[in-house]
Structure 1
């Protein structure tokens, strides 16, 4: 067997593998004998089928399988021994001029294209500077969070007269240009949320209404020509909603109001568990701590996004783009040329970040421990549960859920990559100069987030 490598340039190479009959004969003979022991062929007892009979019947398919296995083993061993860092997977080159008899005596030549990872250096120091935002919880943000919680645990009432923030359960009927109800026109009974009405004059006309009151309602103007919202309200197709010009008659069937929950012990127990919070002051302190934790995460995510962009801009190297595009097409049969061109830039960015991250990990002997992976899995599961209930689940339950979650190989790989990425960010934070910038939540929310 002979293996050779020809470098086309620093990022592309061709590997040729020549296989002679003596390289594969022993493997094929063994595979035929193993098949003979297991074969169930009419006229022969199990395990007593002559290998020669198996060779006549299945020899060529066994030969093809063993050549493929030998190729795979040989190529992988060569890449490891030569310490070649390849991107994607080797792509076989098809040579229609070569034909084989598959008669157990052929010599074979196989050629593979490979894309090579680029060589590059890293030069990060305290001279690299980024902003690290320290977000403060202002009174408005705290009040909004408390109000949302009180509404989430509030109760529905039916006041006599509508007010801002109420929901009108109403019958809507399409009007003709002369203002009369359009016979066989669009009609539907639906909930109209006043907080979603964009036009202030129309919103004002819906405030102060009682059951059975009737008003004219310009649905397009009310929702600023939002075809999706109009279609949902009237139960019509979005295309029809976009072209709709008619006004509607709105008849109030009921006024619904979500009253905020009282700041009492029952409310505190629902949010934090029985007896955990007993006063309004303790409640506000807990909510402030929760918001501060969320804002630390928001600030850290922004720092990570800016660090990602900064690092990619600073570390310049090329990729074997044409090879990678062919590889993506070869491994994704349904990928169109348009989709490939549209998505390749993001793919290349993520690949560059992976290569940079791997080098940071290797150069600095950074370890990703199993506990790192488990802790991230637990954090993600805890976040999911908190979307439905503010009460945390027990540590024991989190451990059980995390173990189950990580038994899925795809989940485990994804969380491992996340753990590695976080380690890379933590390393960069320790090297970069991070200028702390105090900022209010409102100011922070107006910053570009990409």
Structure 2
């Protein structure tokens, strides 16, 4: 097809494409459309397939023009967007070209039409000045290992009921009924809760009454009056005095197993001794620490790059991301998107308000992704087969597997593609950290680092 094209850049990474198709292609397509009508048209007084062109044009003139227009536009756009040289000007998959008005059609003249659509944003990331990435200072030592082992003990603990004569103690698992009382001792509507379970000392209860229920026995009821500090983290409680009625319904004690070879074998048959478990646990923690620190550094770097290299997102890209998050939320609730919207509305939450609340985080994530994609392309980052082999070895070492097991996991072409993409990004970050300053961040424990999520 003989055609010419012109691109005009618009705001928010949109383009206006104007296409001119040669009149000879218009006439050829018109003849093909007319021939197809002739073959299939059934008009009284004429045999099927023998209707004169003039008769067809009289009866179906507008339809012939409309079909010709449609075929010419579809064919020309397909030809343009299938050109490998046009990758930067291809529409996003969720941004179909839109035509504001139909073009004028006249045989013997070139066809000129325009469409607008969104394209992948192009960002020239050059501003690295003043960027300092902070790396939290965390170690995996004996204390951190002991904390993880304690967690294993708790997950493998047996839980038994206390006798009726035994009172609540720290670390007990209690079930309580509670309600908030007004000044007259009446239950405040909506504050009653039954069967609430928590571990004493964890503070994981709305009124933070861990200390106040110590010593209470099963089926005992107690009225608690508690005044909260003005700077309490819970703004609903800060500076207030609450009167709460609490009834203990069950008290259970957690019996922790001994830290020995038997526990290690219960955790996994691959461990023969407690030392085996400790060694593997430390390796896992060090791997998790390395990944978490890299994640924090990368997020910090990207946040600063987004701030220093401003650009606008295509509307369709942001909307597609928000729609995707809405669908994911529906899946989590095991329902449809329409049912989720009705469910949220019944609880006083409008879908549009929720999407608006998600926008800032969605925009930041998309802009970070776009910056990475543009830098990968601009710097022509690639990985060699030898580097992929090294990646297999690294994954095997960190995961306690053999290289053969890792390779089997990545046999699927899509999985291997993800691995290659990850390797490219890791290579890019290595380059970027040579161009920005990395300084020591705050000291924190292993547990604190992961609580930051």
Give yes or no for TM over 0.5. yes
Residues 316-349 of structure 1, C-alpha deviations (whole Å, 9 max, x = no match): 4x64x4x934886799999979968983796377
Task: Normalising by structure 1, report the TM-score.
Answer: 0.63
- Equivalent position SS for 1:111: strand
Matches within 5 A, 1:150-299: 150-160=153-163, 161=166, 162-172=168-178, 177-179=183-185, 186=192, 188-194=194-200, 195-196=202-203, 202-217=209-224, 247-250=244-247, 252-271=248-267, 273-274=268-269, 276-299=270-293
Residue 26 (structure 1) shift = 3.7
Residue 203 (structure 1) shift = 2.1
Separation in 1, partners of 2:199, 2:209: 12
Q: Which deviates more from structure 2 when the two are superposed, residues 305-314 or residues 1-10? A: 1-10
Separation in 1, partners of 2:192, 2:353: 44
Kept in 2: contact 1:357–1:424 (CA 8 A): no
Separation in 2, partners of 1:201, 1:6: 63
Residue 164 (structure 1) shift = 0.8
1:442 to 2:445 alignment: yes
Residue 156 (structure 1) shift = 0.8
Separation in 2, partners of 1:183, 1:327: 46
Separation in 2, partners of 1:72, 1:419: 35
Kept in 2: contact 1:141–1:441 (CA 8 A): no
Separation in 1, partners of 2:175, 2:353: 50
1:427 to 2:431 alignment: yes
Match of 1:94 among 85, 94, 100: 100
In the alignment, what sits opposite 1:50? Answer: 49
Kept in 1: contact 2:128–2:435 (CA 8 A): yes
- Equivalent position SS for 1:290: helix
Q: Which runs of 5+ in 2 are unaligned?
A: 327-350
- Equivalent position SS for 2:210: helix
In the alignment, what sits opposite 2:336? Answer: none
Structure 2 CA distance for partners of 1:187 and 1:82, relative to 1, 3 Å: closer
In the alignment, what sits opposite 1:16? Answer: 18
Separation in 1, partners of 2:375, 2:191: 67
- Equivalent position SS for 1:277: coil
In the alignment, what sits opposite 1:137? Answer: 140
Residues 356-414 of structure 1, C-alpha deviations (whole Å, 9 max, x = no match): 643444434524879969x79x98xxx9xxxxxxx98998887677667948xxxx987
Equivalent residue pairs, number = 402
Kept in 1: contact 2:91–2:118 (CA 8 A): yes
Structure 2 CA distance for partners of 1:426 and 1:4, relative to 1, 3 Å: same
- Equivalent position SS for 1:248: strand
Residue 94 (structure 1) shift = 1.8
Residues 72-100 of structure 1, C-alpha deviations (whole Å, 9 max, x = no match): 1343267x5577557856854524xx664
In the alignment, what sits opposite 1:300? Answer: 294
In the alignment, what sits opposite 1:240? Answer: none
Residue 121 (structure 1) shift = 7.0
Kept in 1: contact 2:181–2:187 (CA 8 A): yes
In the alignment, what sits opposite 2:337? Answer: none
Q: Which runs of 5+ in 1 are unaligned?
A: 231-242, 384-390
Residues 195-227 of structure 1, C-alpha deviations (whole Å, 9 max, x = no match): 2356999422312222233322469979x7979
Residue 152 (structure 1) shift = 0.8
Structure 2 CA distance for partners of 1:293 and 1:432, relative to 1, 3 Å: same
Task: Normalising by structure 2, report the TM-score.
Answer: 0.63
1:70 to 2:75 alignment: yes
Kept in 2: contact 1:325–1:340 (CA 8 A): no
Kept in 2: contact 1:136–1:440 (CA 8 A): no
Name the Cα RMSD after superposition. Answer: 5.9
- Equivalent position SS for 1:247: strand
Structure 2 CA distance for partners of 1:220 and 1:74, relative to 1, 3 Å: farther
Separation in 1, partners of 2:206, 2:217: 21
In the alignment, what sits opposite 2:379? Answer: 363
